[in-house]
Structure formats: structure tokens, C-alpha cells
């Protein structure tokens, strides 16, 4: 396994400053919010976190902007998103560099994340002319019954570190064309990319004549998020992060009868059937399990392999795992960059200790890398572990590159194992047997929000709705009709008959 040289923290600091300058961001430095980089694990510079007063001011401004934005025709609202998409195209490389500095993504994945933002902008611009309601056949003569969609209000977006910009854009591009205004609380681990996105959107708003306060940014940690969660002016809290966070946020928003859209942790599995094309499966599995250093919500964490092909598949995976390049995410040959923090590495080692104590066996990987060059960073070889049963540790989401291999004999057994976890985000089956594929996709198959055939669990397109069931929170974002979460439907009845006819044949007076 090769390791590639790391840039210095000074280089990374200079790069971040240069990219922010090109985008046009002026950074207000402070003490209470450190910006750091997982590439070296070191401090870049200090920023200022939002205070309670800042939150109050931002919510008041976003609410006031909503009052004009909600009646701006939706295709005009699309103008600001179209301009944002153009600016993202122009600054794609700059933003990708910031994503790499802050989240540690390899270049191709960082560029992919920005591309996802561009794609959702295109989608949302089209959507701005397609916010359709339905007319419904009325039982009463001379009546028109219809469903009309209206904006909700201020949307509070709370996002996770691992998709520092794409998740924001899924919510924001769609919420803006729906007529909502947005207040964003990004992960405290990724404030620089947030400053860059906010600046580009503010510029798009200015250039298209939209109110500046259609979008506000609040940097900070959990305490700032909690202020959004509890404020009745926030009509929808769209929160992406761990299931632990969702368990805190969901009930608090519900207690004030607010709406929430929760995108939480996953524990995604792939079934590999006897008929699977193993070349295709190996490529897909390695990208899904080791890509993004195992830090996607859709990362493949469990592999459920038919006993007849288990040895052949494991042999191939072991060989590929043995030569995965781990190192600087800026190096074009690297496939596995750093984990976000040494705490994430500790979580990986804790899970590994537990699973080994239960009889699991490491097949490949698991060694820490670059510890001498960058002691504050967390580089690791992705780990492949064989387990003979699905114990508690396998049923948890460890947000690091650890893939558990289980075996099965019948498809029923594989599906039962597959669904026997608290989370329900993404899933896949590798098979050439159409019957097996259809069973997996049926109501008796995968219980996840995303179910794939002959594709890994990660790497969704924006056109489909994204989200999962059970402990993943039940939210849907991005494409399809996910926009409905950002609007409210009013059922309207118009009587043009000139006489009063009551529904259900009721007579009165």
C-alpha cells in the first residue's frame, strides 16, 4: 500500500485563503470557532461563531424576506438559483479545493460534490415552472375542488461535515424556488465552505434582484442549531447528521408542531448472490466501502455474500484492499484520504476491538497511516472484517471505513439479515437473476429508502428523492417530489353554481 506526501498546514492555510479570496469571501476572524483541516489535523484559523443575538437577527430578517419572497412568481425565484448554478460552475475548482481542505475529500470526489450542487440548481430552475397542484372531481355540481401549494416560511438547514456543500444545495435550491427563505447552520467542522456558498448565493441574489435575506448563514455548533430547532419562526427544520442528533431534534421540533425533515445515519448493506458478476461487484463494493474514507451516509458497511461465492469474492477484495492508496487527498493517485478527526479513528478502533473480541477476523487493512508525518491527522487503511453473525457492533453505524463480511445460504436469510439493523438508508443486490432482483426491490425485500441492483450503495443522482427509513429518519430530499416537504398544500373549493349544496348530501336550513 502506497502513501503519498502531505502538504503542510501553512500550504493549506494559504490555499484556503487564496480560494476564499477568489470567490470573494472576506473572513471575520475570531476565537470561538476554529477552522481546521483533516489533511494535517491542524488548526487553520479562528472564526467567529454566531451569538444568540445573531440568531435572533437572522431569523427576523429571513422571516421578513419571506413575506415578499412568497409572492414572487416561482419562475422569477428560479432566477436566483440559475445564477447560483452559473457561479458554482465558474468556481467549481475553488469550492472543490475548499471541500478537500476542510473535509479531506479526494479531488475527484470534491469536484463531484460541487457538480451535485450544479445539478440540483438545474433541477430546481426547472422545478420553478413545475410546482403543480391537482384538481379533484367534486361531488357537488358547479364546484371546483383543487390542491394548491404554498411556501412554508423560513427553512432551517442543519448540515453534517461529510457533505459540507451538496446537502446545503439540495435543501436551499429547492426551498428557494418553493418560496421559502433559508437559514443555514453548517457543521462546525466545515465553516469555510459554508462561507463560500453563502457568499455565492448572496451575489446571485444581488445580481437577480432577490432580497438579500433569502439566505442567512449562522456559523457555530450544536447550541446554534438548537436555537433554530426551538424557534417557532422556523417552519421546517431540515437536519442532516447522526441518528443521535435526529433523536434530539425530531421531538423538539414536534413539541412545537414544527415540521422536520431528518436525514440521519445509515448502515448500508449489499447482497452478493451466486450469479453476481464479481468484477462489477468488486469495483462497486470498494468504491462504496472505502470511497470518501467510509464517511458517506450511504457507505457500504455490511456485505452479505452467498456461501458459494464468498471465498472467491473475499480473495479479490482482499487483494484490492491491499493496494488502496491512502494519503494526501490532493494527490491524484490517492483513493483514500483522511478521516475527519482522530476521534473518528478511535471509533473505528473501538468497533474493531469489539468485533474481534466476538470472533471476527481481519481480512485486510486496519493499520493507521502517516501517524509520524501528521500525528494530529487520522489516516487509515480501510478494513475488511469477516464476522459469523450480526452482533450489536455490526448493527451500529461506525462512521469510518470498516466493512463486515457475512455469509448466507438462502435469499430469505440474506434479506432478513439485510433488514435486521435499526437504519434504513441505502441497499443493493448484485445478481444476474431477475427473480432475485425483483424480490429484493419488492415490498418483501429491502426496507431502505434507496434500493439498487448491480450498483453499490453510494453515489446517488439528484433526480431521485434521497433519504431513508427507520433510524435514518424518514426524510426525502433532492429530486422527484421531495419539494413537497418545503411547501404546504391547501385544499380549495370554489362554488360557482349560485346555490348551496352541502357535501355528503347533508341538508340544513
Identify which range of 9-17, 49-57, 234-242, 486-494 contacts ligand NAD by CB under 6 A: 234-242
User: What is the three-class DSSP state of 361?
Assistant: strand
> Is residue 125 packed enough to be buried (19+ CB in 10 Å), middle (13-18) or exposed (0-12)?
buried
State how far the Cα of 217 lies from the Cα of 191, in Å rounded to an integer.
Answer: 10
CB of 171 to ligand NAD, least distance (A): 11
- Of 409 and 481, CB closest to ligand NAD: 481
Among this protein's residues, is 297 annotated catalytic?
Answer: yes
Count of CB atoms situated within 10 Å of the CB of 109:
22
Asked if 160 touches ligand NAD (CB under 6 A), the answer is: yes
**How many residues does the structure list for the chain?**
509
Calculate helix-pair angle for 411-419, 434-441, nearest 10 degrees: 30
- Of 39 and 450, CB closest to ligand NAD: 450
Residues between 474 and 493 that touch ligand NAD (CB under 6 A): none
CB of 268 to ligand NAD, least distance (A): 9
Contact indicator for 210, 198 with CB cutoff of 8 Å: no
Q: Any idea what DSSP says for residue 152?
A: -
Identify which range of 96-104, 207-215, 225-233, 488-496 contacts ligand NAD by CB under 6 A: 225-233
Provide DSSP, 344-359.
HHHHHHHHHHHHHHTT
Nearest CA among 71, 77, 86, 72 for reference residue 177: 77
Asked if 109 touches ligand NAD (CB under 6 A), the answer is: no
- Of 222 and 368, CB closest to ligand NAD: 222
Convert residues 394-413 into a mask of x (bound to ligand NAD by CB under 6 A) and - (unbound): ---x-x--------------
Helices (H) and strands (E) in the chain, counts: 15, 25
Marked catalytic residue, from 297, 381, 396, 397: 297
State how far the Cα of 475 lies from the Cα of 30, in Å rounded to an integer.
Answer: 35
Provide DSSP, 425-481.
SEEEEE-S-HHHHHHHHSTTS--SSEEEESS-SS---TTSEE--EETT-S--EESTT
Residues between 341 and 370 that touch ligand NAD (CB under 6 A): none
C-alpha cell at 70: 412568497
Convert residues 162-201 into a mask of x (bound to ligand NAD by CB under 6 A) and - (unbound): xx---x-----------------x-xx-------------
Contact indicator for 148, 133 with CB cutoff of 8 Å: yes
- Of 160 and 202, CB closest to ligand NAD: 160
Asked if 221 touches ligand NAD (CB under 6 A), the answer is: yes
Convert residues 240-279 into a mask of x (bound to ligand NAD by CB under 6 A) and - (unbound): xxx--x--xx-------------xxxx-------------
Contact indicator for 465, 485 with CB cutoff of 8 Å: no
CB of 266 to ligand NAD, least distance (A): 5
Residues between 413 and 452 that touch ligand NAD (CB under 6 A): 425
Among this protein's residues, is 207 annotated catalytic?
Answer: no
Asked if 472 touches ligand NAD (CB under 6 A), the answer is: yes
Marked catalytic residue, from 113, 263, 396, 436: 263
Query: With contacts defined by CB under 6 A, how many residues of the chain interact with ligand NAD?
Result: 30
State how far the Cα of 354 lies from the Cα of 286, in Å rounded to an integer.
Answer: 23
Residues tagged active-site = 263, 297
| Interacting residue ranges for ligand NAD, rule: CB under 6 A | 158-163, 167, 185, 187-188, 221-222, 225-226, 229, 240-242, 245, 248-249, 263-266, 297, 397, 399, 425, 472
Amino acid at each position: 500500500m502506497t502513501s503519498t506526501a502531505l502538504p503542510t498546514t501553512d500550504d493549506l492555510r494559504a490555499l484556503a485563503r487564496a480560494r476564499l479570496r477568489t470567490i470573494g469571501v472576506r473572513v471575520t476572524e475570531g476565537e470561538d470557532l476554529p477552522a481546521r483541516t483533516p489533511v494535517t489535523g491542524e488548526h487553520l484559523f479562528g472564526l467567529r461563531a454566531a451569538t444568540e443575538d445573531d440568531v435572533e437577527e437572522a431569523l427576523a430578517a429571513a422571516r421578513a424576506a419571506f413575506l415578499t419572497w412568497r409572492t414572487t412568481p416561482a419562475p422569477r425565484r428560479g432566477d436566483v438559483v440559475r445564477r447560483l448554478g452559473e457561479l458554482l460552475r465558474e468556481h467549481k475548482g475553488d469550492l472543490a479545493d475548499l471541500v478537500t481542505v476542510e473535509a479531506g475529500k479526494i479531488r475527484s470526489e470534491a469536484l463531484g460534490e460541487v457538480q451535485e450542487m450544479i445539478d440540483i440548481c438545474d433541477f430546481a430552475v426547472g422545478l420553478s415552472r413545475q410546482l403543480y397542484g391537482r384538481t379533484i372531481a367534486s361531488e357537488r355540481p358547479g364546484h371546483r375542488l383543487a390542491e394548491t401549494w404554498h411556501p412554508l416560511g423560513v427553512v432551517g438547514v442543519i448540515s453534517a461535515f461529510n457533505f459540507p456543500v451538496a446537502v446545503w444545495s439540495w435543501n436551499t435550491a429547492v426551498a428557494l424556488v418553493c418560496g421559502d427563505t433559508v437559514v443555514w447552520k453548517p457543521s462546525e467542522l466545515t465553516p469555510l465552505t459554508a462561507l463560500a456558498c453563502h457568499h455565492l448565493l448572496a451575489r446571485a441574489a444581488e445580481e437577480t434582484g432577490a432580497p438579500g435575506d433569502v439566505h442567512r448563514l449562522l456559523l457555530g455548533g450544536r447550541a446554534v442549531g438548537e436555537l433554530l430547532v426551538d424557534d417557532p419562526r422556523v417552519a421546517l427544520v431540515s437536519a442532516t447528521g447522526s441518528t443521535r442528533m435526529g433523536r434530539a431534534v425530531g421531538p423538539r421540533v414536534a413539541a412545537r408542531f414544527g415540521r422536520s425533515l431528518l436525514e440521519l445515519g445509515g448502515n448500508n448493506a449489499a447482497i452478493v448472490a451466486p450469479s453476481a458478476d464479481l468484477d462489477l461487484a468488486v469495483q462497486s463494493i470498494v468504491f462504496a466501502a472505502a470511497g470518501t474514507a467510509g464517511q458517506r451516509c450511504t457507505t457500504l458497511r455490511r456485505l452479505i455474500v452467498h456461501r458459494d461465492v464468498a471465498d472467491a469474492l473475499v480473495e479479490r477484495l482482499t487483494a484490492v484492499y491491499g493496494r488502496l492508496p491512502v494519503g494526501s487527498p490532493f494527490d491524484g493517485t490517492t483513493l483514500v484520504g483522511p478521516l475527519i478527526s482522530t476521534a473518528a479513528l478511535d471509533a473505528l478502533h473501538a468497533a474493531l476491538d469489539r468485533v474481534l473480541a466476538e470472533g471476527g477476523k481481519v481480512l485486510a487493512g486496519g493499520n493507521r497511516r502517516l501517524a509520524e508525518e501528521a500525528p494530529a491527522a487520522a489516516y487509515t487503511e480501510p478494513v475488511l472484517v469477516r464476522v459469523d453473525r450480526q452482533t450489536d457492533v455490526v448493527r451500529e453505524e461506525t462512521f469510518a471505513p470498516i466493512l463486515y463480511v457475512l455469509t448466507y445460504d438462502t435469499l430469505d436469510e440474506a434479506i432478513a439479515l439485510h433488514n435486521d439493523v435499526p437504519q434504513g438508508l441505502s441497499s443493493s443486490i448484485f445478481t444476474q437473476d431477475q427473480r432475485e432482483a425483483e424480490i429484493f426491490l419488492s415490498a418483501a425485500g429491502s426496507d431502505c429508502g434507496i434500493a439498487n441492483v448491480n450498483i453499490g450503495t453510494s453515489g446517488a443522482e439528484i433526480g431521485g428523492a434521497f433519504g431513508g427509513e427507520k433510524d435514518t429518519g424518514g426524510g426525502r430530499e433532492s429530486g422527484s417530489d421531495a419539494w413537497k416537504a418545503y411547501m404546504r398544500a391547501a385544499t380549495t373549493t370554489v362554488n360557482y353554481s349560485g346555490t348551496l349544496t352541502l357535501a355528503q348530501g347533508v341538508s340544513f336550513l
